[in-house]
Amino acid sequence: MEISRVRAFARKAAGSRTAAVLAVVLAAVVGGWLGLALGAKVDTPVGPADIGMSISPSLRGETVVDVRPLGTLKFNTHDGPVRLGLTIEAVHPDVAEDIIKNPRWADRLPTTIETDVIEGLRRLAVRAALFAVAAGFVTGLVVFRRLSRAAWTAGGSLVMVAVLGGVSALTFNPRSIAEPRYTGLLTGVPSLVGDARSIVTKFSEYRGQLAKLVTNVSQLYEAGSNLPIFDPDPDTIRVLHVSDLHINPIGWNVIKSLKDQFKVQFVVDTGDISDHGTKPENEFVKEIGSLGVPYVYVRGNHDSKSTQDAVAKQKNAIVLDGNAVTVNGLTVYGLGDPRFTPDKAVQVDGDSSESLLDLGRTNALKLAPRDWSRSKSTSAPDRIPADIVAVHDPTVGRGFSGYVPLVLTGHVHARSTQLMPTGTRLMIQGSTGGAGLRGLEHDEPTPLTASVLYFNKKSHRLEAWDDITVGGLGEQWIQCQRRIEPDPGRTIFPESQQAPSPTASGGGSPSPTALASGANVPYASEVSDGRRHGTGRKP
């Protein structure tokens, strides 16, 4: 009897100790978060600017640069549930002017900024630890009303801050500085995000990129309301990729603004400029003539031959349908969609995935990357050295895998990209027209999307791109995400010459179905209009 009582008492004591430890840990976490939220803030000089630094709880690890009133820049700099916020409180005009005009100052800027940032982060870390400990102690005192428990809670808060700091430092990603995500005014995108060519050529120089960002901000403040737009780099060809306007006139406003702000040399439209392909809708395409730059177009499944003819009549328009054109040094091969299906309830011949894939593969035999040898074993002398293929349906686009560096498509109203095993990149654009009237069928309007592509003038290869997303009807926001091509000069191989995929069964190349599933994107021909609307939410 006595033994059972002792065992019961031991279990009760052990349970109470576990509950007490859990309570202390919970109080330490809550107190530490409160301390970070309330006191982890410092002001520090960084180069020509006074920067406010803060640490706050967040579901994802990132660094946010607030450049009001222009917008914000976000960088995926680290992992862990903390956000580092940087706010430009002021820019000293005399120092900023020296940076812009004095080469010697600019040479010293990377080291100066690095030193200032490290010092600011050191002060921020100390302040965060002190406030976390203090808030943890107060939380423990309020909850437990015992000094000993409050001391343990304060120690737990300190450990929490140390762990978060260690995780953030160990997972720091310097590459993120080259791929900012911008949200704000359209006019601020080119100046704040920077020039793609300089980012690509100096990608490894992290400190230099940080200095470039601060210099851009300094220029903006120095100019005041006259926001500067960087001159186009002579070694960069800028192409605007749009798709699926679906007779939404707002799409033309987006195209014109992006063409002006990013100094685009020509536009590639991958189809569905119309909605039902009727003659009255042909009036919509007359805006092409006012753009002032070449407009390369391929027919979509919502575009009739009448639509295609109407586009061909416009000034600056270039219609491709089984042929190629060279614009600003880039050779674009285009192929119109073989179907005309404005009503998806109507089935037509050639609408299957295999038929569309075979269409792409058949046309791919006309092409060859520029770096292929002209021997009989690789490419015939009459093959087209295409830099870009433009088609409407991604399923057709996958048929060109291994014969061209870049394939541009649309159709599914959801932006994505896939680097296929052959070295060919497939880029699927969302809807530059916000899916037309379909964009209003959901809880939130479908956003308008387009991309600015940056090509090397000598190699003709894609080096970077900016994904632009504009809020749908009734919304007022814009986001720009910079992407860097990791290996612009990669070799392009036909599927027959590929090495076997580690995840593929057997010894052959991955099947088209495997390629599709690898990108987490279904065959476009298998997606109904009701699903081709994107998320409709702000990224």
Give me the number of domains the chain comprises: 2
Quote the pLDDT of residue 219.
45
pLDDT by residue (tens digit) across 287-344? 999 999 999 999 999 999 999 999 999 999 999 999 999 999 999 999 999 998 876 6
Residues 414 and 474 in one domain: yes
Quote the pLDDT of residue 249.
85
Asked if residue 80 lies in contact with residue 61, where contact means CB atoms within 8 angstroms, the answer is: yes
Residue 58 lies in a domain: yes
- Using only the alpha carbons of the chain, give its radius of gyration: 28
Residue 47's domain spans which residues? 9-184
What DSSP designation does 511 have?
P
Residues 64 and 178 in one domain: yes
Quote the pLDDT of residue 381.
53
pLDDT by residue (tens digit) across 474-506? 455 678 888 888 899 899 988 765 444 433 333
- The strand pair at 478-484 and 181-184 is best described as antiparallel
Positions of the chain with pLDDT lower than 50, given as ranges: 1, 6-7, 9-11, 13-14, 197, 199-232, 379-380, 439-442, 474, 498-539
Asked if residue 113 lies in contact with residue 210, where contact means CB atoms within 8 angstroms, the answer is: yes
Residues 48 and 162 in one domain: yes
Residue 520 lies in a domain: no
Residue 535 lies in a domain: no
Residue 525 lies in a domain: no
Give the closest residue to 332 by CA, choosing from 382, 274, 285, 391: 391
Give the closest residue to 56 by CA, choosing from 72, 36, 75, 39: 36
Q: At a CB cut-off of 8 Å and minimum separation 6, what does 375 contact? A: none
From 184, 214, 242, the end of a domain falls on 184
Q: CA of 152: how far to CAs of 23, 45, 126, 147, 300, in Å?
A: 11, 36, 20, 9, 66
Residues 41 and 118 in one domain: yes
Q: At a CB cut-off of 8 Å and minimum separation 6, what does 75 contact? A: 62, 63, 64, 65, 176, 177, 179, 180, 181
Residues 218 and 172 in one domain: no
Residue 462 lies in a domain: yes
Residue with tokens 């309330």: 38
CA angle 322, 326, 331 (to 5 degrees): 70
Q: At a CB cut-off of 8 Å and minimum separation 6, what does 432 contact? A: 242, 243, 244, 245, 251, 254, 255, 448, 449, 450
Residues 149 and 200 in one domain: no
Quote the pLDDT of residue 75.
79
Quote the pLDDT of residue 353.
87
Q: What is the DSSP string of 125-145?
A: HHHHHHHHHHHHHHHHHHHH-
Residues 180 and 200 in one domain: no
Residues 307 and 281 in one domain: yes
Residue 496 lies in a domain: no
Residue 158 lies in a domain: yes
Chain centre to alpha carbon of residue 314: 32
- The neighbouring-strand residues paired with 296 are 268, 318
Alpha-carbon gap, residue 297 to 271, rounded angstroms: 7
Q: Is 496 helix (H, G, I), strand (E, B) or coil?
A: helix
Q: Which parts of 365-520 fold into alpha helices (H)? A: 394-398, 512-518
- The strand pair at 448-456 and 462-470 is best described as antiparallel
Residues 287 and 412 in one domain: yes
Quote the pLDDT of residue 484.
86
Quote the pLDDT of residue 273.
93
Alpha-carbon gap, residue 491 to 36, rounded angstroms: 49
Query: Which token pair is 107?
Result: 């040479």
Query: Which token pair is 486?
Result: 């990791």
**3-state SS string for 277-312:** CCHHHHHHHHHHHHCCCCEEECCCCCCCHHHHHHHH
Residue 159 lies in a domain: yes
From 460, 484, 508, the end of a domain falls on 484
Whether this prediction's pTM lies above 0.85 is answered by no
From 439, 454, 484, the end of a domain falls on 484
Asked if residue 250 lies in contact with residue 439, where contact means CB atoms within 8 angstroms, the answer is: no
Quote the pLDDT of residue 166.
81
Residues 177 and 214 in one domain: no
Helices 93-101, 103-144: axis angle to 10 degrees equals 140
Quote the pLDDT of residue 400.
96
Residues 367 and 336 in one domain: yes
Residues 293 and 419 in one domain: yes
Q: Which residues of 232-246 are buried (b: 16+ CB within 10 A; e: fewer)?
A: bbeebbbbbbbbbbb
Give the closest residue to 436 by CA, choosing from 282, 223, 274: 274
Quote the pLDDT of residue 308.
95
What DSSP designation does 367 have?
B
- The CATH number for 269's domain is 3.60.21.10
